[in-house]
């Protein structure tokens, strides 16, 4: 189990889960039917924040590079893919059942007592296949078996040739993908940390074999810095190289980026040197040559693959936890999410001081001027103090208040979430002012 850290906080998860539900980040799935264990729906604010996490990843991995291209491969896939990848043979966890309370646990996650009821009456460990199996088409027989992908990575390997020939990229180059993956986890839990349906952000970087170590080190550093750049405190992050006996069957080296969750260290992302394992396995199984012709040396070779593989949903949760703070403003308790503006669900909230009709046209004009640049909220209900606190609680970095003076002087008040400082800004210069704050933030 994960070792404790200075950030261990038994009460924090309840606060995060309650905030997530109350403010529309994450809802338990199928709640009106009593819920569906360990599946979640992302609500109006959650969908914005999750999209921001994925966009931040895509920008750094694809948009800002000329050596990485994107892909969106199918989720449903034939058994041949998973036979070749090793998932049908290896992708299983040892599980034990408690004979007393009937709970099922991962054998490598528990000692010799049931964490649910304390009984020592456990079954022997048995392997449990983690892939979701289904049938494609109207007939349910062995010939129609299909699997929901348990990772996005294989989509990149089986499309290596398609992507390489259509883009004419030469190693080193990468293929990036964001999408849903499915694992029939034995012990899902800790909110969205481990769920059976989740989203991954993975990139397969194909390199000449002799450059693999250099690129492995490069991606470990680049990925670690990505979290810091988005405001993750360095004290809550660590890099943990895997011990030799922990490495996956395909890996010549793996380093995890770990986050100090309220219950201890947990993985956010793994960076692995997958060698030429995957391309060779698919070449052997499919009969399609998955190699690169190096014209300079007049030789074919199988590239090595360096893979940074992160979880989008798990990472969003880590950013929520890291940003959550309780402080006091003028003697009053407030809860605030100190999220980087790029991750906050709303960057700006437009708040007419009163519900009176006179303010609405100017407030709507301000809103319309901001919407091309920022995701905005528009809120007219309750006192301005309460509205500020509601925005603090969901991490909105800037509130813009329109008052009766605004109708005369064409200025609005901009309030900063973190300092609570308020300044008057001309409506005509508002977009430029807020854009300049994003550069400073
Ligand atoms: P774990 O050891 O936690 O089961 P893993 O090492 O099997 O994870 P990978 O296969 O490397 O995970 O997947 C890459 C990333 O996908 C993980 O670092 C994690 O962020 C995310 N991930 C994996 N499984 C889940 C899950 N069941 N729920 C949410 N995110 C997940």
pLDDT (tens digit per residue) in 264-289: 999 999 999 999 999 999 999 999 99
pLDDT at 168: 96
Task: Based on the fold, state whether residues 260 and 405 are members of the same structural domain.
Answer: no
Using the predicted structure, report yes or no on whether residue 177 has a pLDDT greater than 80: yes
Cis omega (within 30 of 0) on the bond before 227?
A: no
**46, 156: one domain:** yes
What value does the mean pLDDT take over residues 199-213?
A: 98
Residues 45 and 182 in one domain: yes
Q: Is the pLDDT of residue 206 over 70?
A: yes
Ligand 1 cavity residues, CB under 6 Å: 151, 183, 185, 194-195, 198, 200, 267-270, 309-311, 313-314
SS (H, E, C) 63-121: HCCCCEEECCCCCEECHHHHHHHCHHHHCEEEEEEECCCCCEEEHHHCCCCCCCCCCCC
Instruction: Clarify whether residues 258 and 352 are in a common domain.
Output: no
Which residue's CA is the closest to the ligand 1 atom numbered 1?
Answer: 267
> Given 274, 305, 320, which residue is the final one in a domain?
320
Q: Which residues contact 284 (CB under 8 A, 6 or more apart)?
A: 84
**Ligand 1 centroid to residue 267 C-alpha, Å:** 7
pLDDT given at position 356: 86
On whether both 158 and 293 belong to a single domain, the answer is: yes
**Structure token digits, residue 8:** 């261990």
Q: Which pLDDT score, from 0 to 100, does residue 137 have? A: 93
Residue 110 has pLDDT above 90, yes or no: no
Q: Check residue 142 and report its DSSP letter.
A: G
* Residue 189 within a domain: yes
* Residue-wise pLDDT tens digits, 24-46: 999 999 999 999 988 999 999 99
**Statement to judge: residues 192 and 58 lie in one domain:** yes
* Confidence (pLDDT) at 162: 97
Distance 96 CA to ligand 1 centre (A): 21
The reported pLDDT for the residue numbered 187 is 85
Ligand 1 midpoint to CA 270 (Å) = 8
Same domain, 293 and 247: yes
- For the ranges 113-122, 167-176, 271-280, the lowest mean pLDDT is seen at 113-122
Percent of the chain topping pLDDT 90: 83
pLDDT of residue 100: 87
Query: What is the average pLDDT across 410-424?
Result: 97
**Does a structural domain hold residue 310?**
yes
Residue 382 and residue 274 share a domain: no
Cα–chain-centroid distance for residue 307?
16
Q: List the domain range (segments joined by +) for residue 429.
A: 346-440
For residue 200, the ligand 1 atom closest to its alpha carbon is 16
DSSP notation for 227-238? HHHTT--GGGEE
Is residue 291, in this structure, part of any structural domain at all? Answer: yes
Write down the pLDDT at residue 340: 98
* Domain shared by 315 and 422, yes or no: no
Question: What pLDDT is recorded for position 363?
Answer: 98
Per-residue pLDDT tens over the stretch 300-337:
999 999 999 999 999 999 999 999 999 988 888 899 99
Which residue CA neighbors atom 11 of ligand 1 most closely?
A: 270
Q: Which of 320, 335, 356 is the last residue of a domain?
A: 320
What is the structure's pLDDT at 93?
75
Give the percent of the chain with pLDDT over 70.
99
Domain membership of residue 141 (yes or no) is no
Which residue has the CA at smallest separation from atom 3 of ligand 1? 267
Torsion sign over Cα 57, 60, 61, 64: positive
CATH number of the domain enclosing 353: 3.40.50.800
- Which pLDDT value is given to residue 101? 86
Render pLDDT for 335-351 as a digit per residue (tens, 0 to 9).
999 999 999 999 999 99
The answer to the question of residue 18 being in a domain is: yes
| 402-417 burial code (b ≥16 CB/10 A, e <16) | bbeebeeeebbbbbeb
Is residue 116 in a domain? no
Residues 315 and 357 placed together within one structural domain of the fold? no
In this structure, the answer to whether residues 247 and 287 fall within a common structural domain is yes
By the 8 A CB rule, do 337 and 322 touch? no
Distance from residue 329's CA to the centre of ligand 1 (Å): 39
Q: How many domains are contained in the chain?
A: 2
- Residue 41 domain flag: yes
Shortest-distance Cα residue to atom 20 of ligand 1: 311
Confidence of residue 169 (pLDDT cuts 50, 70, 90): very high
Q: What pLDDT is attached to residue 104?
A: 80
Dump pLDDT digits (tens) for 186-198: 889 999 999 999 9
CA of 266 to the centre of ligand 1 (A): 10
Mean pLDDT computed over every residue of the chain: 95
Report the CATH number at residue 274.
3.30.930.10
Assess if residue 132 is contained within a domain. no
The model carries a pTM of 0.93
Q: Are residues 279 and 418 in the same domain?
A: no
Select the more confidently predicted residue: 3 or 16: 16
pLDDT digits (tens, 9 = 90+) for 131-162: 999 999 999 998 999 999 999 999 999 999 99
Last residue of a domain, one of 276, 302, 320: 320
Can you spell out the DSSP letters for 326-390? EEEETTEEEEEE---TTTSS-SEEEEESS--GGGHHHHHHHHHHHTTTS-EEE--SS-HHHHHHH
55-83 average pLDDT score? 97
What's the DSSP call for residue 306?
A: E
- Per the CB < 8 A criterion, the answer to whether 129 and 79 are in contact is no
pLDDT at 1 over 70: no
Which ligand 1 atom lies nearest to the CA of residue 256? 18
Nearest ligand 1 atom to alpha carbon 150: 10
């Amino acid at each position: 189990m994960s070792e404790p850290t200075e950030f261990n906080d038994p009460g924090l998860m309840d606060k995060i889960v309650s905030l997530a539900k109350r403010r529309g980040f994450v809802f338990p799935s199928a709640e009106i039917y009593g819920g569906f264990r360990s599946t979640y729906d992302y609500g109006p604010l959650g969908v914005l924040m999750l999209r921001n996490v994925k966009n931040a990843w895509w920008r750094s991995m694809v948009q800002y590079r000329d050596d990485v291209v994107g892909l969106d491969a199918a989720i449903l896939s034939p058994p041949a893919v998973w036979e070749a990848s090793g998932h049908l043979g290896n992708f299983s966890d040892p599980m034990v059942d408690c004979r007393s309370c009937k709970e099922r646990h991962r054998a490598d996650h528990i000692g010799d007592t049931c964490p649910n009821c304390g009984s020592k009456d456990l079954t022997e460990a048995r392997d449990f296949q983690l892939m979701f199996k289904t049938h494609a088409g109207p007939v349910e027989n062995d010939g129609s078996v299909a699997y929901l992908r348990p990772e996005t990575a294989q989509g990149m390997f089986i499309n290596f040739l398609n992507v390489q020939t259509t883009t004419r990229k030469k190693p080193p180059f990468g293929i990036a993908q964001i999408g849903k993956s499915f694992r029939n986890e034995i012990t899902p839990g800790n909110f969205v940390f481990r769920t059976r349906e989740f989203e991954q952000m993975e990139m397969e970087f194909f390199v000449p074999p002799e450059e693999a170590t250099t690129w492995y080190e490069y991606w470990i550093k680049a990925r670690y810095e990505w979290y810091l750049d988005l405001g993750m405190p360095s004290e809550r992050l660590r890099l943990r190289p895997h011990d030799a006996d922990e490495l996956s069957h395909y890996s010549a080296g793996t380093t995890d980026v770990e986050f100090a969750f309220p219950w201890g260290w947990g993985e956010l992302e793994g960076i692995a040197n997958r060698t030429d394992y995957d391309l060779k396995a698919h070449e052997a199984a499919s009969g399609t040559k998955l190699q690169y012709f190096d014209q300079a040396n007049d030789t074919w070779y199988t590239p090595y693959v360096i893979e940074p593989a992160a979880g989008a949903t798990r990472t969003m949760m880590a950013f929520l936890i890291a940003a959550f703070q309780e402080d006091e403003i003028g003697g009053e308790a407030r809860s605030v999410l100190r999220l980087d503006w790029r991750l906050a669900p709303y960057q700006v909230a437009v708040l007419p001081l009163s519900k009176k009709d006179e303010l609405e046209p100017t407030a709507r004009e301000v809103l319309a001027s901001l919407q091309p640049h920022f995701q905005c909220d528009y809120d007219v209900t309750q006192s301005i103090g309460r509205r500020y606190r509601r925005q603090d609680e969901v991490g909105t970095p800037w509130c813009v208040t329109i008052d009766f003076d605004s109708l005369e002087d064409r200025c609005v008040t901009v309030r900063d979430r973190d300092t609570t400082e308020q300044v008057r800004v001309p409506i005509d210069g508002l977009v430029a002012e807020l854009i300049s704050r994003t550069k400073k933030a």
